[in-house]
Structure 1
Amino acid sequence: PHKPPTLQPAMSWQEDDPSPATAPLRPPRPLRPPRQLGSGLPAAVAAALWRGDQLGAPVSTVWSSGFAALDAQLPGGGWPGHGLTEILTPHSGTLEWRLLGPVLRQVCAAGQPVVVVGPPLPPHLPGLRLEGLDERQLVWVQADTPAERLWSAEQLIKAQACGALLVWLPQARPEQIRRLQVLAAGFDAPVFVCRPARALGESSAAPLRVRAAVGPDWALHIHMAKRKGPPLETPLHLSAVPGALAPFLTPRLRLPSRWTHHPETEHVVVRPSAQPDEHRHSAAH
């Protein structure tokens, strides 16, 4: 019978050869420097890329919020176009104007109309005038049902018929927000969707979500719920005195010690200062 061929190893170690364990190691190859994100790409593509630990670079027009501290935390340094911005508040119809008043004032000054769709309260023109908003540039669309508000917002975005759009959608579903986001991607002006604070627990396709609450000393507490960049651990405190009250506030009313903030109720409670003991003693007699 034929003997099967014997397989020989490709290499064999002799007794005088160094073993693999004692063989000298080759010097490691020098490591190449890490490639920068976006290097070697067209400028338009590189501008659209961002790292998760950094704020997103502006890829569209942005409008200053009027608050330096807020602009420093917004991607691109202001309210963005080509996308939705959700404003979440515990009480709809009041804080939105205080937060968005400066940017709406810029839009009106540029001669562009500001369209508000379905606000929970009728716009108070004298108060808005004190905020610097020209009522001739303000368009109020009275839409009562969710379907009317969604339809109006979609038509305004498609037609690009305004310089800024505010729409109140307290009962919007995630798929409806996603549809508005797709339409707003082709819209140059800022689009603000106002929703209740409880909607923060729902998913949303909006790339920017900001929660606003009332704070002491006529301030606004701003929490970045979602943005293109790292999370913001500490809320922002913005001074936003209503224009109608600014001329009547005395320095005593602006003292921080007179205000107590209750975040669980989202209210500000005014407490009188304690009286000296001798005053209380004389009052008892």
Structure 2
Amino acid sequence: MPAALQWIVNAAPVSVDALSHPFDLGQFSGSVAQAIWRGSQVAQADQSVVSSGWAALDAQLPGGGWPCNALTELLQPQPGLCEWRLLAPALAGLAAGGGPILLVGPPKRPHAPGLVKLGIAEKSIVWIAADTPAERLWTTEQLVKANPRGGTILAWLPQARAEQLRRLQVHAQSCDCPVFLFRPEAAQLDASPAPLRLLTTLGPDWNLHVHLLKRKGALLDGPIVLPSVPGTLASVLTPRLMRPSQLLARSEVSDVPALGRTVDQRHLRQLAAH
């Protein structure tokens, strides 16, 4: 860093014409070039990350996974809809390593057999039934301060305000595990201090659609599509039921000729009547 500062001090004034052309990183020394980040690039996380378990998603997350030392805000149309299917691969890996999965105020009682199907051992789950928004917020803050290394914190905070989230983000910078906050889809219109924000919705054919609302890097057009058949159904669904959208499309196509024949016959009867 001192070398970079010295280079800036001794640098000649930059002309207006030079600003109209992109910088050539080759003119900088190796250490300076590595420290420069362009807005068109996905940033490399300065802190440690935990793989999401989805190769397509890791490729778009700064550092290649869920960040530690920071908040990750997950928005969805309704609570309990997508979070387990999205986070299950990462949670299973953390649980296998002996890390605790700390739940604060989940909307429904955790279903232990279903979590086992997802690869998350029941003994790894710690459910904290905080009922009021104040209790959930206070509990989340205390867990973040406790820094449960090797595990993760999942908190449902639909009513958290911006200043409360900022306080959590400050504490999360000293927490060496991922911290996930679940909030409603409408919260995407509000400002948030979380460095990473995602909107997850259900797509056709058992897919999850993940929209990156905020990350350190260029905006991503369109969703990341993740094939996610629920673990309890994967073994019983037939190949045709794995793609229900195709069944619906075939049904609609088969109905069109039938409607066409009905219209044609009715038209012929009208002509005959005249």
* TM-score (ref. length: structure 1): 0.76
Any gaps of 5 or more consecutive residues in structure 2?
1-17, 263-274
Match of 2:200 in 1: 212
Aligned residue type for 1:215: G
SS in 1 for 2:183: strand
SS in 2 for 1:53: coil
- Cα RMSD of the aligned pairs, angstroms, is 2.7
Mapping of 1:246-265 within 5 angstroms? Answer: 246-255=234-243, 256-258=245-247
Q: Is the 8 A contact 1:219 1:240 kept in 2?
A: yes
**Cα 1:124–1:272, aligned 2, differ >3 Å: closer, same or farther?**
farther
Any gaps of 5 or more consecutive residues in structure 1?
1-30, 261-269
1:216-256 deviation line (CA, Å, top 9, x unaligned)? 01000110000000000121110011111111111110124
Q: Is the 8 A contact 1:115 1:140 kept in 2?
A: yes
Match of 1:59 in 2: 46
Match of 1:87 in 2: 74
* TM-score (ref. length: structure 2): 0.79
Matched, 1:183 2:171: yes
Q: Is the 8 A contact 1:88 1:196 kept in 2?
A: yes
Mapping of 1:218-257 within 5 angstroms? Answer: 218-255=206-243, 256-257=245-246
Runs (4+) off by over 2 Å: 33-37, 39-43, 270-277
In structure 2, what is the Cα distance between the partners aligned to 1:93 and 1:126? 16
Q: Is the 8 A contact 1:258 1:273 kept in 2?
A: no
> How high is the sequence identity, in percent, across the aligned residues?
51
Structure possessing the higher radius of gyration over alpha carbons: 1
The structure richer in helix per residue is 2
Superposition deviation, residue 52 in structure 1: 1.3
In structure 2, what is the Cα distance between the partners aligned to 1:208 and 1:259? 36
Match of 2:61 in 1: 74
Match of 1:97 in 2: 84
Superposition deviation, residue 91 in structure 1: 1.4
SS in 1 for 2:180: strand
SS in 1 for 2:231: coil
SS in 1 for 2:114: helix
Q: Is the 8 A contact 2:148 2:176 kept in 1?
A: no
